[in-house]
Chain A
């Protein structure tokens, strides 16, 4: 049962081939058996899952279930879940029981999904390897010695290992797309504002966006439909109708104009990764897509721009963690300053502290113009480059990540090397554009098979196109169907 995609599970449930309870029990069994080796979950909500499954079975029996009624899911532990621990993989929130559901959680619940648990992640979503979690690193199911990517690494590992058919993630600079690429999944980051941020613990508010890690574009379309839409609780969510993404998957490749981002096929890209991506491009061309090179000359600014904007916003967003109303509080504070400094010093891990300090610095008096304001201007240049490119092509294409999954610990001592993992993914966040990573081949690294992903980025609210291109590609390829050894 665990090898089924969401679409297949949905069909099976409706045809009464199995019940949601059977499906849920089966997956909970796998999580219990295989989960700890991967460290994919922070919290497994077995009781809640069983209750959800029974309720779903009743609805389905009465015939008033929807396509997702009874489908098990997992949420990244950054989404608030009413009555359930919501930790952001931080010591700061290791005792935090959210008193409300995030909009994404509520929407998936209302669609009838079954909550299996909360997945591990980089602390407060700050990381590209899932090594900054207070609960320890997540392992890549393709090779336990390697990282699954981050920050949605727990969601990626859980879905890749077939512990959950689909999981939510968040993407601030590549945190859905990069782990999807490193674990052979389809990872979609929607347009900024397409999905409500309400209840998603904020990292960088102008960049954060919720999305999905799935085993196919079709599944991603199905779950995006259930999570997208305007939310009166989020001023930045956009009030435009949500298309029927699943109905639009049939759009043909014929005539599709693809731009290859010149700046993302150069130095630093692993040639083996490039070969996989070039192979995919050739296939798309054979199927009628028109491919041309496009230059987006400001894109090399995206990583430094991001490492001003994101830390600035995070330094402010994380000020609420002060040991007063929730979260970690130090023992015996001797005065107010001590309460703040020790609660925060103890509650946050190194990378989070580093980013808070970077952000504090770039916003501080005398430095604001040189860093923050400058970065906002560079951000405008990057967005302008994309806008120009979308005058010529429908989507732009690049590798998702310069390399396949790397070894645990390989980059932890060098923050810049770690940040450069997201060199191809960050620009989409800065411009607020939708992006998707889909499996496009494997490389062999000293006898280990490792998946490679390619990224498509579209114009604002171009999710339909990204999903249909991915779906059409997946109809013609088998890469996305491959499972890691031991998890098939």
Chain B
């Protein structure tokens, strides 16, 4: 039987506010345990939540960016369950009336086609703390520093049909929240993570199969592997005569498999009800308009502009806009260079990306600044060096931190454009290779490349390729 996979993602993006969603505690990562948990975060008797305006503004930005409806009235609700990292015994979240509804986002599939994925809703809620399991003689230690950190939970429609699509969607959201400056996107620190709802059904069947929810996936690779494992598991189970049970599962990256979560074995009854400590959240049309006006250029728009104004391909524009910082780097290079966008794009996606990747650096940590790269490319454009030499210069810039001109000067890499010098080198090569010369002249055109290589070798690669071609052709033909 042929199976179709149905996936919906619930992405949790920690909002990059200074203070928590309902208290004035700091949200910085990595502090000593429980030093950033105040009375509200600890759920002390008598304390009350007060909503952070910035968290609301960030949710509105996301809503506007995804073409969603931003609710003029939304409601906070309590989700009740007992867990040691949940100090109040309930999580303040939004249930029936979320702040953002009905958005969408385009992703590009492997075959290059675009697909629109619906965003059912995005709602504000508070994060929980953390349970630490090591070193307490069979006990767990609870750190509530993270408790109360604002989260935007972004729920997709079940419109993703493969692990690859799910990853493409998650990456797109990741790009977007960083463009919007609402989340730092740091997945190691848990600032951006997701739960995946996965089910399978026979191709052609209208109803969904029973789904399993895989919790807390915090890397794109894990999302892909966990979903693929889960698809296989469900298909094997069904084909073996079993049935999928609706349950919450955990992905074990070491074993590469998912397993049921013990803590969720008991059927949960969250007893949602409107939080009486918080009033309805009202958002004025004027506030939404103001957010709309202050919206930065978003990745899709930027990519379209790169295609239109720079003549880039869709693919290149997509790669360059995948992160705001990369796009900014690229645009700086183009601006300094004045033109030659395609050259800039090739270098940013090629040598620069390769070097960053090799050293495991972010574009903001690049050893070669956008200005320096533009300086290097200028030397290609003005024929001071060839593209090939430029690669060598780039490597030197990367490791030595000097700019292109200094390296070209010091290493004597300046291109030979003196016609007589190139002619001398050509004549020298011809006289040393009489056999090949005779063959060429008797019609073996392919040997042209051999002579180019020999002359280049003789000039240390510095001969201007255009001139070399022209002169060589003339000399060889006698």
Contact = CB atoms under 8 A, between A and B. Distances in A.
- Whether A and B touch directly in their complex, counting CB atoms under 8 A apart, is answered as yes
Given A99-B44, A100-B39, A312 B273 contact: yes
A50 B279 CA distance: 41
Given A205-B277, A316-B273, A365-B269, A322 B45 contact: no
Contacts of B42: 325
Interface in B32-68: 39, 42-51
Given A322-B82, A363-B80, A86 B277 contact: no
A102 interface: yes
Contacts of A75: none
A101 to B, nearest CB: 10
Interface stretch (B84-92, B153-161, B290-298): B84-92
Interface in A432-454: none
A363 B51 contact: no
Contact of B82 (A234, A340, A364): A340
Contact of A235 (B82, B84, B88, B279): B279
Interface string A175-199: 0000000000000000000000111
Given A313-B276, A316-B273, A235 B89 contact: no
Contact of B48 (A197, A204, A324): A197
Contacts of B84: 322, 324, 336
Interface in B66-106: 78, 80, 82, 84, 87-90
A396 interface: no
B273 A319 contact: no
B278 interface: yes
A37 B272 CA distance: 45
A360 interface: yes
Central interface residue in A86, A88, A319, A368, by most chain B CB within 10 Å: A319
Contact of A316 (B39, B90, B142, B278): B90
A202 interface: yes
A79 B87 CA distance: 20
A464 to B, nearest CB: 25
Interface in A82-128: 86, 88, 93, 96, 98-100, 102
Main secondary structure of the interface of A (DSSP, over half): loop
B423 to A, nearest CB: 85
B137 interface: no
Nearest to A318: B89
B271 interface: yes
Given A235-B49, A319-B88, A365-B269, A205 B276 contact: yes
A197 B17 CA distance: 27
A202 B271 CA distance: 18
Contact of A200 (B46, B142, B271): B46
Among B51, B89, B90, find the residue whose CB has the most chain A CB atoms closer than 10 A. B89
Contact of A364 (B49, B269, B276, B277): B269
B271 A364 contact: yes
B89 A368 contact: no
B278 A235 contact: yes
A235 B51 contact: yes
A319 B45 contact: no
Given A205-B277, A235-B279, A325-B42, A319 B90 contact: yes
B49 to A, nearest CB: 7
Given A100-B39, A364-B269, A322 B89 contact: yes
Contacts of A368: 271, 273
A233 interface: yes
B41 to A, nearest CB: 10
Given A312-B273, A340-B82, A363-B80, A320 B46 contact: no
Interface in A195-250: 197-202, 204-206, 232-236
A5 to B, nearest CB: 30
A409 B272 CA distance: 37
Contact of B45 (A96, A233, A340): A96
Nearest to B47: A198
A86 B43 contact: no
Name the residue in A205, A312, A324, A326 with the highest tally of chain B Cβ atoms < 10 Å from its Cβ. A324
A310 B90 CA distance: 17
**A interface bracket (residues with beta carbon within 8 Å of B):** 35 or more
B32 to A, nearest CB: 17
Given A235-B279, A319-B82, A320-B87, A363 B273 contact: yes
A316 B89 contact: yes
B88 A320 contact: yes
Nearest to B79: A316
A166 interface: no
Contacts of A312: 273
A74 interface: no
A336 B90 CA distance: 17
Contacts of A198: 46-48
Contacts of B271: 315-316, 360, 363-365, 368
Contacts of B90: 316, 319
B46 A325 contact: no
User: Which of B51, B78, B84, B276 has the most CB atoms of chain A within a 10 A radius of its CB?
Assistant: B276
Contacts of B87: 320, 324-325
Given A99-B39, A232-B50, A372-B273, A320 B45 contact: yes
Contact of A320 (B43, B273, B279): B43
Contacts of B45: 80, 86, 88, 93, 96, 98, 201-202, 320-321, 326
Considering residues B46, B90, B269, which has the most beta carbons from chain A within 10 angstroms of its beta carbon?
A: B46
Nearest to B266: A337
B82 to A, nearest CB: 6
Contacts of B279: 235-236
A325 B48 CA distance: 17
Interface string B247-278: 00000000000000000000001011100111
Contact of A199 (B47, B51, B78, B89): B47
A313 B273 CA distance: 9
B368 to A, nearest CB: 50
Interface string B228-254: 000000000000000000000000000
A473 to B, nearest CB: 34
Interface in A319-349: 319-322, 324-326, 336, 340
A236 B50 CA distance: 9
Contacts of A201: 45-46
Nearest to A364: B269
Contacts of A336: 84
B35 to A, nearest CB: 15
B50 A233 contact: yes
B80 to A, nearest CB: 5
Nearest to B81: A319
Given A316-B80, A316-B89, A364-B271, A234 B46 contact: no
Interface of A: 79-80, 86, 88, 93, 96, 98-100, 102, 197-202, 204-206, 232-236, 312-313, 315-316, 318-322, 324-326, 336, 340, 360, 363-365, 368, 372
Interface of B: 39, 42-51, 78, 80, 82, 84, 87-90, 142, 269, 271-273, 276-279
In the A-B complex, the 4 residue pairs with the smallest Cβ-Cβ separation, listed nearest first, are: A319-B89, A206-B276, A205-B276, A363-B271
Given A197-B46, A236-B277, 4 more contacts: A234-B50, A336-B84, A360-B271, A363-B80
27 contacts: A79-B46, A80-B45, A98-B46, A197-B46, A198-B46, A198-B48, A202-B277, A233-B48, A234-B50, A235-B49, A235-B50, A235-B277, A236-B277, A236-B278, A316-B90, A319-B88, A320-B43, A320-B44, A321-B45, A324-B87, A325-B42, A325-B87, A326-B45, A363-B271, A363-B272, A364-B269, A364-B271
